[in-house]
Amino acid sequence: MKYRDILHFARELRKNQTPAEEFFWKMVRNRQFMGKKFSRQYIIEHSEIQGDKSFFIADFHCHEKRLIVEIDGRIHEQQVEYDRIREEVLKDMGFVIVRFRNEEVLEGWDMVARRLWEALG
């Protein structure tokens, strides 16, 4: 996939966030959480084979700490193996990944904030 295509897709994802993603973004945007800058729908190039680049899109990313936050909805129940492989690749690239379920973000922000604090600390 070409970068401009993945960029367009990431922009579409930003426009169509889930309620959990919207809430998380509201809580971390503009350095509101621990003074850390987060980006949403962050594009990460992970490989290039014969001129074809491959990308992942992280739900949220804190560049300073190389932290990726994934907020998982129902679709992730159907792609467990893909998520596992993707997470391995990202960890090999030096990223730390924290996952939350939609319900955790929407109904248990205190727990989410505590785990996020630990990951960033």
Closest among 92, 18, 93 to 59, alpha carbons compared: 18
User: Strand, helix or coil at 38?
Assistant: coil
Reply yes or no on whether the pLDDT at 14 is more than 90. yes
Q: What is the pLDDT of residue 48?
A: 74
- Distance separating alpha carbons of residues 49 and 116, to the nearest angstrom: 34
pLDDT for the residue numbered 78:
65
Kindly state the greatest CA–CA separation across the chain.
46
Q: Rounded to an integer, what distance in angstroms lies between the CA atom of residue 60 and that of residue 42?
A: 6
Helix-then-strand count for the chain, H and E: 5, 4
Cα separation, 24 vs 9, whole angstroms? 20
Over the stretch 34-76, which tens digit does the pLDDT of each residue have? Answer: 999 999 999 999 887 777 889 999 999 999 999 999 998 766 5
Q: What is the pLDDT of residues 104-119, one digit of tens each?
A: 999 999 999 999 999 9
> How many residues are present in the chain?
121
